[in-house]
Amino acid sequence: MLKGRVAVVTGATRGIGFATAKELAARGATVIVCSRDLASAQKAARRIGKKAQAAGLDIASAKSVSGFVKKIVAAHGRIDILVNNAGYPFDPKIWYKHMHRVSDGELDAVLEVDLKGTFRMTKAVLPVMAKKKGGVIVSISSTPAIAGYDQGAPYSLAKAGIVAMTKHVALEYGRHNVRAYSLALGNIATDATFNSMSAKAQKAAAQESAMKRWGRPEEVARIIAALAGDDFTFATGNTIVVDGGTVFL
């Protein structure tokens, strides 16, 4: 149970973010549902229930991140759990482009959100968690970050940076009882990914894993909630692969 803890979930209005916010709230946490679109965050919070609160947040803006964290700490006195879920939307024009054709602008656009956004949020909450002598940071990465892939070069670079960041946080802030994890996700059936693909591509992707299916956002959410609780108190810096049996560490 996560009763009494305050959790922040970025990109929490749909998909993995929404499922995670809902799961954390069900386990007793007060959950801050974050989105650049406050109206969408409010709608998602209402769907989750009384344990959820909405907040506007743009992780691509240092000012927005700083103001957000100050506001949450002023209201609740703490941030116990951070789930770095918000990411650059799946863009076929970038994903399917050969690496040598990716422009600096396209690379920067992905890194600004996926990597630097995760860094901004992590950087902002670390002093809060260290002061309270504890906290958990879970960041969403992807299997190409550890196994490589022949498409989506900017995404792979950004997600690999998140894995490295997780290890750094674990080593530097473990003395403050701050734990950090990254989730290397495979094919998870979110609106942003699954519904952007053709039926043929969906079926082909399902065959990539040993389980021969897509994962569900709720399955990812339960893993995040478990990591955020007290069952992993002597584990940190880990990358947990959630892909139905495709990539093995």
Q: What is the pLDDT of residues 99-139, one digit of tens each?
A: 999 999 999 999 999 999 999 999 999 999 999 999 999 99
% of the chain surpassing 90 pLDDT = 92
| Amino acid identity for residue 175 in this structure | R
In terms of DSSP bridges, do strands 81-84 and 135-142 run parallel, antiparallel, or are they unpaired?
A: parallel
| Amino acid identity for residue 193 in this structure | T
Global pTM reads: 0.96
Angle at alpha carbon of residue 133, lines to 129 and 137, rounded to 5°: 40
Number of Cβ atoms within 10 Å of the Cβ of 75: 13
Query: Rounded CA gap, 117 and 35, in Å?
Result: 13
Point out the residues of the chain with pLDDT beneath 70: none
Query: Rounded CA gap, 144 and 231, in Å?
Result: 28
Q: What is the pLDDT of residue 194?
A: 83
Q: What is the pLDDT of residue 174?
A: 98
% of the chain surpassing 70 pLDDT = 100
Residue 155 annotated in active site: yes
- At 194, list the tokens: 């699954």
Active-site hit among 88, 149, 155, 181: 155
Residue with tokens 């059936």: 189
